[in-house]
Amino acid sequence: MAQLPEILEWYSLTPMVNEMKSPRTFLRDAFFGDVETQTTENIVFSVLEGGRETAPFVKRDGEAIMAGGYTEKEYTIGAPNIRIKRPLEAADLIFRRHAGDVIFADGGSVEAAAEREIARQLQRLNELIDNAEEYLCALAIRGTISYTAADEANFTITYPKPVANTVTLTNFWDGASSTPMQDSRDAKFIMHDAVSLNPTDVLLGSEATDSFLSSDEVRALLDTKSVNAGNLNLSADVDSQGAMFLGLFAGMRWWSYPSQVTVAGVATDLIRAKYAEFLHRGPAAEMKLYYAAISDLDAMDAGLLATRRFSKSWRQQDPSVHQILVTARPLPVLRRPGAVVSMKVVSG
């Protein structure tokens, strides 16, 4: 028999303390906010390319010279599949008192507690998908999405990010001769050369943040109080999405984003610790978050093949179990991969 509390003593039931860690959604919401749902499994997009070649010169009254045109490429990408479920046993929903529930319950309290527990468990499944989507967005920024499915099958999606857009510095920011202002200008020229855009935001990993804020050049420029050079807020707080807005420097918004998610049991940086990611935030960058069709007959029957997420539940009769399931097919796509410049700014 379970041991009851000392019935002749008084107890106070205080409100529950919620220490559930909020999901990370900074990259998804800030840079991949342009969402499209699809009714197919594969995503296809086309790209027109043309360099900056000059037209040839001919002598007066000479015959025209054949000139090249543009090139056209088509990319087909299959979306990842996320499908997770959780069984809730009858004894757990009916007899178990969860955090914050009353101690002595009547029938109405038990039913309300069971509904509340199902809602919490469903919220938890959705938060796991939030973290997975943020992880996919972080990989897309680097240029390659690589993951392993539950059956140990490996998948890799590589975006045609220009080779010049991945830079390893020679004068690292943790060295005595670092030049963050010049490196920022270089990133602008690299991006503009690739896609005729300029970076608007810079995301720093943990080590890159420390090196940037301790750079002698950054401090010297900030001492001038010039908004064009830099206007950083060194007392900023971390927002609910795990990012810290540092302020303006070299005409760009600078963010510290050292947040991690746990992938297959391993804590993984969303922004690599030693890197600064220069991005253009705006419609011209064409960073899209596609959701492919849901592979579920119940979704088809409900007319929900094209949706961001699909959830359902069902009852197993004996033993009595309430099963909940959530599925999603997210695919962040860099339609213009040159709108990102990845720069390794810390040595090692």
pTM, two decimals, is 0.85
Instruction: Answer positive or negative: Cα dihedral of 156, 25, 340, 35.
Output: positive
* pLDDT surpasses 90 at 344: yes
Number of Cα atoms under 13 Å in the Cβ half of residue 88: 22
- The length of the chain is 348
Return the SS3 of 225: coil
Cβ 13 vs Cβ 103: under 8 Å: yes
pLDDT given for residue 222 in this prediction: 61
Number of Cα atoms under 13 Å in the Cβ half of residue 1: 3
Inter-axis angle of helices 216-223 and 180-195, to 10 degrees? 90
pLDDT (mean) for 88-92 = 82
Residue with the bigger pLDDT between 115 and 206: it is 206
pLDDT in tens, 118-168: 888 899 999 999 999 999 999 999 999 988 887 777 888 889 899 999 999
Q: Per residue in 32-56, is it b (16+ CB within 10 Å) or e — as a string? A: beeeebbeeeebeeeeeeeeeeeee
Listed residue (281, 324, 326, 334) closest to 308, CA to CA: 326
Residues ≥6 apart with Cβ < 8 Å to 19: none
**Pairwise CA distance, residues 199 & 185, whole Å:** 10
pLDDT given for residue 8 in this prediction: 56
* pLDDT surpasses 50 at 224: no
Return the SS3 of 261: strand
Q: Which two tokens stand for residue 284?
A: 């011209």
Which secondary structure element, helix H or strand E, spans residue 42, and what is its range?
strand 42-49
Give, as one character, the DSSP assignment of residue 115.
Answer: H
**Environment class of 200 (CB within 10 Å of its CB; exposed 0-12, middle 13-18, buried 19+):** middle
Cβ neighbour number for residue 286 with a 10 Å cutoff:
16
Any alpha helices (H) in the chain, and if so which ranges? 26-31, 90-94, 107-142, 180-195, 206-213, 216-223, 297-301
pLDDT (mean) for 14-32 = 79
pLDDT in tens, 294-325: 999 999 999 999 999 999 989 888 888 889 89
